Structure 1
Amino acid sequence: MKIVAVAACTSGIAHTYIAKEKLIRAAEALGHEIHVETQGTIGTEDELKPEQIQEADVVILAVDIAITGTERFEGKKQVKVPTSIVVKAPKQLLQKIESELTK
């Protein structure tokens, strides 16, 4: 599965980067390809490329606040969850998404 994600928490620091790391580790452990953009207090980092979005099977929005650029994901399967879900159970989240996509 090819995944793109955006992580953004209310403070724009801690949970944003923890969520990014947890998503990357879980995706790699499950054999998926993932690219994660962060939107935090220092702005956008690792901005998703249009081709990454186009090739993605799913978009994960691990966000606790409003983010910019969501129009890029129109027409894509999107899953929006709080960063706390990603921090606590990233593998379970990805497995659930995977099972939903294969239905």
Structure 2
Amino acid sequence: MRIVGVTCCTAGIAHTYIVAEKIQAAATEAGHQCKIETQGTIGAQSQLTAEDIAAADVVILAHDIAVGGVERFAGKPVVDIPITVAMKNPKSLIATIEKKLANKK
């Protein structure tokens, strides 16, 4: 599975980047490709390209504030969650997404 996503938190500092790393690590451990864009105090980093998004099977939006550029994900399955959900149990998040996508096939 190819996963893309965006993380952003209220302060735009620690949680934004920690959660991005946790999601990527959990996805990789589960055998998936993953790229997460961070929208922090220094702006967007690891920005998702149109190609990244087109190739994605699912989009994860883990945030506590508005995510910029959500229109890019039109037509893709989107998992929209508070950033704390991904922070607490990223492996469970990935497992839940796997199950939901498998049920749609």
Q: Percent identity over the alignment?
A: 52
Q: How many pairs align?
A: 103
Spell out structure 1 runs of 4+ moving beyond 3 A: none
Q: Under a length normalisation based on structure 2, what TM-score does the superposition of the two structures give?
A: 0.96
Equivalent in the alignment of 1:53: 53
SS of aligned partner of 1:102: helix
Which whole-Å CA distance do the structure 1 matches of 2:87 and 2:66 have between them? 19
Which whole-Å CA distance do the structure 2 matches of 1:35 and 1:49 have between them? 10
Unaligned runs of 5+ in 2: none
Which whole-Å CA distance do the structure 1 matches of 2:43 and 2:28 have between them? 26
Which whole-Å CA distance do the structure 2 matches of 1:75 and 1:59 have between them? 10
Q: CA RMSD in A?
A: 0.5
Which whole-Å CA distance do the structure 2 matches of 1:39 and 1:19 have between them? 12
Counterpart code for 1:30: A
Q: Under a length normalisation based on structure 1, what TM-score does the superposition of the two structures give?
A: 0.98
Which whole-Å CA distance do the structure 2 matches of 1:99 and 1:43 have between them? 33
Counterpart code for 2:64: D
